[in-house]
Amino acid sequence: MSRNNPSRHSILVTSNINAANDANRLSELCRQLEIRGYRLFQAPSRKVALDFLGNAAHPAGILLLVAEPTGENEAAQLAALDELRQVAPSIPLFLLFRQLRIEQLSSQLLDEVQGCFNLAAGPARFIAERIDSDLREWRAPAGPRRLRDYAPPVPRTPVSARYNGRARLDLAPAKQWRIGSG
């Protein structure tokens, strides 16, 4: 990954957990984003990411690999998001999970991020395609002006009707990895 100075077409990749188990999937996602023309800066911890953003860096987006949001650690996840939001309030933030269970995500968590993606759900190229599409829309002149204007909506239909827990590659794969795209 490039460690060059960031530009508006760069993405900050960071984690608040030990990501050794996800290194292959994350590296494939990063490779797919580089193919689409993004330069990636990898911050090994959230503290390094905050320092990076505090030095007037303004990447196109932030990818944050997080642990599963459970009752015990969701407060810590929200605190991590709040820290990133305070330093970079206008930069789109994407959460990456090992396994995504929509019913575990609170509406407060969903309101703070651009999108959530499951690294284990399917090919990394589909996730990269959705992130690229969202960032292009974000940069468009008629795009949203504030992050909250573009936050994915909270699911209103029962979880079982929206997502069955398995990747269904036969049904519009580019849309199924983003919460709120239904």
Three-state secondary-structure class, residue 102: helix
Over residues 19-61, the pLDDT tens digits come to 555 566 788 888 999 999 998 888 877 788 888 887 767 788 8
Kindly state the tokens that stand for 112: 């703070």
Query: Domain 10-176 adopts which CATH fold?
Result: Rossmann fold (3.40.50)
Kindly state the tokens that stand for 36: 């689409």
Residue type, 172: A
Q: H-helix or E-strand containing 65?
A: strand 61-65
pLDDT at residue number 72: 65
Task: Name the average pLDDT for the chain.
Answer: 68
Higher pLDDT, 82 or 5: 82
Over residues 86-137, the pLDDT tens digits come to 888 778 888 887 765 656 666 766 676 777 787 777 788 888 888 888 888 8
Over residues 155-175, the pLDDT tens digits come to 444 443 344 444 333 333 444
Mean pLDDT (whole number) for 126-152? 68
pLDDT band of residue 141 (cuts 50, 70, 90) is low
pLDDT at residue number 17: 59
Over residues 7-18, the pLDDT tens digits come to 457 888 877 655
